[in-house]
Structures are given as structure tokens and as C-alpha cells.
Structure 1
């Protein structure tokens, strides 16, 4: 293994010779110019990483710069909590925060990576988003670390992550409804390509199975984490001949949609229908009746991700990169009550 001193002695001319290109081409790659073929860029960046090349400007750069915060989808109440957590740490370190939205895509395009390389952030926090392997190689060649928050799927083996106990949250929400006496409990969850959607639903299924109850497939709906989908899914569920007496929604916005659907059918919450949400965003406290929900520590997730990003030692754990899972807990308010029937 090279020592830190030997890593710093690696010269651009050596890498250029090995790659079979000019020093000017190496410089273009380092400076994020787009007029290099993908194959040449990948070969050069692989050599830069393998040889441990560190630019002098990177070695001597004083503290400062920014944190790049990337959202799969920006939703004001939910996103602002994570932003506040990242901003808290950034402010402590004298950093700014740049917020980007990937427009619903879980992976990020080449235009985004080019912009990041030009901005040269201290690091990147990816919320329900991911960078491709070739993009991670480009970031690594520049010494730009990344951390994933609430990963859409299993995070890459070499990328640290921060999440919350989604399965336990789904279990707690459903057990609360069971303890109140509900037996016909529906579940609305998020997109079928997101890990948290399945984890929350698996918690619900586990609670129902433990209580010896079957789950009617018609009681379960996958969709978006938006009010409109919660409303549409609840309309279908509440129109069933033997409708559920309670709904566990995959997030608070879906739960607000359930409220709307219940009102349309002349049902009262919680007298005729109990509703539990997930996240504990501010509107959950303001809506009437106040929403029983699972508190997900969104702000703390942002804090932990930013700290992990800026502290190399925090990004590693025994046997590999760090995987942090924060606890969730149920917040009981006024949207749940025993069912009318016995």
C-alpha cells in the first residue's frame, strides 16, 4: 500500500503516459470538461483512483465550500426537515448547502454529475437517490464522498447510509390499531421500487400475522407518497363491501388523502374510520383531528448524514462502510379509536 507521501508524489505525466493520452487530456478530466469520450474518461479516472492521485488544490484547500443535497423528489414538509438537519451541521462547519431534485428518478444523470464536479462540494447527501458505479468512480477520483439517506434500494456496498426503522414503524402502527380492537385494517404504501414502502408494509403484515389475521389483497395499495394517491386508494378501499375500519398510510400525506376520501363518503375520523400515518411532519399536528402517526426522525437523519459525510472515520464500521438505522416511535393523537362494531 502506498504511503500518504508516495500518493502525493504521483504526477500527471506518469498517469498520462500510462493512459496513453496527453497531460492536457488528464487536466480536462480533472476539471470536468465534457469533450472527453466516456471510455477515455473512465480509464483516466480509474488510474487516478488506483494511483491515489490527490490534486495540490485538494490537499491544501481550506475548510469551506458546500454540501450537495440531492432529493429524489422534493416535498416541502418532509424535505425541509432533512434540509434543516444538514444545514445545522453545515453551519457548524462553515459550509453552504446546495439542494438539487432528481425529478423523480432514483438515479442521477450525467448532466448532474458534470455540475457537481464543477461545484466541487465537500460531499454529497443523496435522499432516496443513488449515483451509478461509474459516477461514484468519478467522484472518488476528485475525493468527493457521498452518503445515502433513506435509500430507495439496498445502498451500494461502498456507500455509507442513514435510514430509519421502517419495519418497526409499520409494526407499531398496526399493533396500535389491533390493540384498539380493529381487525379489518388496510395499508396504503409508497412506490413499489422503494425499499421503505416494502419495509413499512412488511411491518404491517407481521403485526397482522402475529394477531392471527389474514390480509385481504384488496386492502393493500402501492402508489406515490402524495395526497392524491392516498385519496384515490382510500376511495377504492372504502367502497369495498366489507370495508376496513382502519387504514395505515405509508406517509402523512397519504393519510391526509384518506381523510378526504372518508369525508366524501360521510365517514368520520376516528368514529367511523381510524387512520395512522407515517413521518410526523408538521401538518400531522395541524389537521383535524390531529393525526396519529409514526415519528420518523427526519431532521436527525439529515444531521447524521452530514456528520458522516464530513468525518471519514464516521463513514466506516467494522467490516465495511457505516449503516445507521435510527429508531422510530408511534405518536398517538386523535385520529384513532376503537371500531364501532364489537
Structure 2
């Protein structure tokens, strides 16, 4: 199938040279998929460890890129120059409290970015741009940017002009045409509410974070929209009385307890409550216990986020997993494989969350 291996060449080097030769002569074309490691091992009469090293070295040399769960592919611009090569990806934020990064939204996302980076020989770091909006000096670095409502949009426009390779996560700015990857919070809110409706609940309360129903941030506003959509599809009228908006700088159990007790004090209280974060849902569980209510027999409680402790509550908390590991993978893949040179493309990807059903939700009790 190929020329004989020189006696003194390491086998991984021989495989590398053979694949490079096929790329350079056009036998392998840009974005062609290479055989899996086990198939390459069989072709070259060697081990998977050896073919794995050969592919890793080809990635580092700029001939091959990897997509997690799909395989290895030929780079469009083989062996790029150092000036063009992306060697680092940074998760960039502005004065974000580092303790919040322990939330699974971030830890799972970081793991997704890191997995893709490791597979492609790319460094991964977290970077606080601070008050002066300082990005890393490496102009070829990929930027996964954590936006927020108070972000100075002129900075984003300036970075676009500089040709910075940026993907935003969590918040997005469609008018600027900057690629973004977000969790589909509308679908998440819909799935949570639909699950409660499937158990026969028609009076479903919702606890949101904000100063008022008109002053919700992007994610909670979308979860509310999903809640309302699920109700409308089942011809259940939207009742503003069943919406509890609680203010707070960070999610907490006290917010959930407050919101839950507001809802249960209604003349016609809900039979189920969708707390739009697990921390608020845990507060709702506490509130139910203080009121002498049994979950889920007297009232069902639904959370959102799937934090680690949600599986350990009693009963275990039904919730929504945001699938942010996939969000991290996609943001890194867009930077590495879908933004070529200084080209500006409008790339949008929404990650669909998933229901996690545990013991805190159940059918309406007659």
C-alpha cells in the first residue's frame, strides 16, 4: 500500500510522513476524513498507540484537525505558518467572581473546551480582561467570550475590526455578526413545564430572578417564554398570579423559599412549582417542609441546572441539565475549524438541554 518503511525511522514518523505525502500530492483533500486509529494500525501493521501519536503530531504540525466524536480530518491549509496558527484558546471574562466558576454551567463548559483543545494540541486558559478590557496579546488566539448585559459593545466592534477570532457564550449580540453558542433556555423552560403538565398539573407556579417581570435577564426571560409556550400548547391560560419574581445578586435557597411561600399563600395555590434554578428549587423544598407539605404528593418541585447536590436532596430534585459540556466543545470547534483566516461569519449554535427526572415531581394527587 505504501513504500517500505526505512529501517531507522520510528513507526509513528513513517506514518506521519506517508499521510503528509498523500496530503501534499492531493490524494487526500481538505476536510477528507482519515481512517480511525484502529484501522490505521491495521493498515500500517502497528499499534493504536503508535497511530495515535502519529495523528497527534500531524495535528500539532497543522496537517490534521480533530472533531470530538467524529474523527480526524485534513486541514484546509496544511502546515500553516506560525503567524497563522492558533495555538491557544482563552475563556475571557470581565471581573467575574471566580467562585461562580464552580457552578456546573462553567465546569462542564471548561471541560468541553479543554477536551477539544487537548485533542488538537491547543492550550486552554481562563483570562480576566479586567476593567480595561485587555485581551491576550496573541492576536491569533481564539477567544471564548463570556458576555454580560453591561458589556461595552464598542469593544466588541473594535476587536472585530482587528480580526480577532471570537465566539461569545451565554449572552450574544446578533447585530454584530459575532459567532455565538448558547444554551436554548426557551426549550429548557418548555421541557420543565411540559414535564409537569404531563403529570396532570395545570396550576404551575414559576419562580424567577429579577427586579420585576419586566426586568429579567436574558436567560430567565427565555425560560419564562418556554414556560408560557408549554402552557399555551396545552390550552392552559397564563396566570400572572402564578409568577413569583424574587430579587437577588446570586441564586440562593432563600430566594426559592420566599418565592415558594408567596405562591403557596395564594387562595388557589399551584400544585407544581418550576423554580428556574436548582438553588431556588432547594429553597422551595425547604419552604414546603416548613409549611408541612410533602413533595411530590402535595406539590411537585422542578429545578434547573442539575448541580451536583440536586441528586442528593430528599427527594432527589427533578431538573434540567444545560448540556454545557457540548457548549464548550462547539465553541472551541467553531474557533478552530469554522472561522478561517480573518473571515467574519455569522455562526449560531444553540445547545439543547435535557430533562433529568428524579423524585421531586409526580402526578397531581386527587
In structure 2, what is the Cα distance between the partners aligned to 1:196 and 1:315?
32
Query: What does residue 195 of structure 2 align with?
Result: 176
Match of 1:266 in 2: 292
Equivalent residue for 1:279, pick from 302, 305, 310? 305
Measured at CA, do residues 181 and 277 of structure 1 come closer, stay the same or move farther in structure 2, by a change above 3 Å?
Answer: same
Structure 1 residues 63 and 179, CA, compared in 2 at 3 Å: closer, same or farther? closer
Deviations 1:96-155 (A, max 9, x none): 31143xxxxxxx8642x13x254767122123437533212443455432211121x654
Q: Cα 1:125–1:66, aligned 2, differ >3 Å: closer, same or farther? A: closer
User: Which whole-Å CA distance do the structure 2 matches of 1:327 and 1:262 have between them?
Assistant: 30
Q: Which position in structure 1 is the counterpart of 2:229?
A: 206
1:87 corresponds to 2:130 = no
Q: Pairwise CA RMSD of aligned residues? A: 3.0
Specify whether residues 286 and 315 from structure 1 end up closer, same or farther in structure 2 by C-alpha distance, changes over 3 A only: farther
Match of 2:125 among 97, 102, 117: 97
Equivalent residue for 1:338?
Answer: 363
Tell me, in whole angstroms, the C-alpha distance in 1 between the residues paired with 2:229 and 2:340.
Answer: 33
Residue deviations 1:188-211 (CA, integer Å, cap 9, x gap): 224434222122111111222232
Gap change, CA 1:212 and 1:142, over 3 Å in 2: closer
8 Å CA contact retained: 1:67, 1:90: no
Q: 1:209-220 counterparts in 2 under 5 A?
A: 209-220=232-243
3-state DSSP of counterpart to 2:304: strand
Asked if residue 124 in structure 1 is aligned to residue 143 in structure 2, the reply is yes
SS at match of 2:303: strand
User: How far did residue 80 of structure 1 move?
Assistant: 1.3
Distance 2:234 2:157 in 1: 48
Structure 1 residue 162 and structure 2 residue 181: aligned? yes
Q: Which residue of 1 is the match for residue 281 of structure 2?
A: 255
C-alpha separation between the residues in 2 aligned to 1:294 and 1:243?
24
Moved more, 60-69 or 84-93: 60-69
CA positional deviation for 1:294: 1.9
For residues 1-342 of structure 1, the aligned pairs below 5 Å read 60=83, 63-70=86-93, 74-78=100-104, 79-92=106-119, 93-100=121-128, 110-111=131-132, 113-114=133-134, 116-118=135-137, 122-129=141-148, 131-140=151-160, 142-151=162-171, 154-191=173-210, 192-222=215-245, 223-224=247-248, 226-227=251-252, 228-313=254-339, 320-340=345-365, 342=366
Please give the TM-score of this superposition, normalised by the length of structure 2: 0.66
Distance 1:154 1:140 in 2: 12
| Cα distance change on mapping 1:288 and 1:69 into 2, 3 Å | farther
Offset at 1:159?
1.0
Give the structure 2 partner of residue 48 of structure 1: none
What is the distance in 2 between the residues matched to 1:328 and 1:87? 20
Unmatched tracts of structure 2, length 5 or more? 1-80
TM-score, length-normalised on structure 1?
0.70
- For residues 271-324 of structure 1, the C-alpha deviation after alignment (integer angstroms, 9 at most, x for no partner) is 22201112223222222211111221111101111221233438999x951010
Aligned residues: 273
CA distance in 1, matches of 2:187, 2:255: 24
Query: Stretches of 4+ moved more than 6 A in 1?
Result: 314-317
Distance of aligned partners of 1:141 and 1:316 in 2 relative to their CA distance in 1, 3 Å threshold: closer
The aligned counterpart of 2:50 is none
Q: Distance in 2 between matches of 1:170 and 1:64?
A: 38
Q: Aligned with 1:278: secondary structure?
A: coil
What are the superposed Cα offsets for residues 192-239 of structure 1, whole Å, 9 maximum, x if unpaired?
A: 342221221111112222323223323213345612322221122222
- 1:139-193 deviations in whole A, cap 9, x for unaligned? 3455432211121x65443211111222222222212212212121101224434
Structure 1 or 2: more helix by fraction: 1
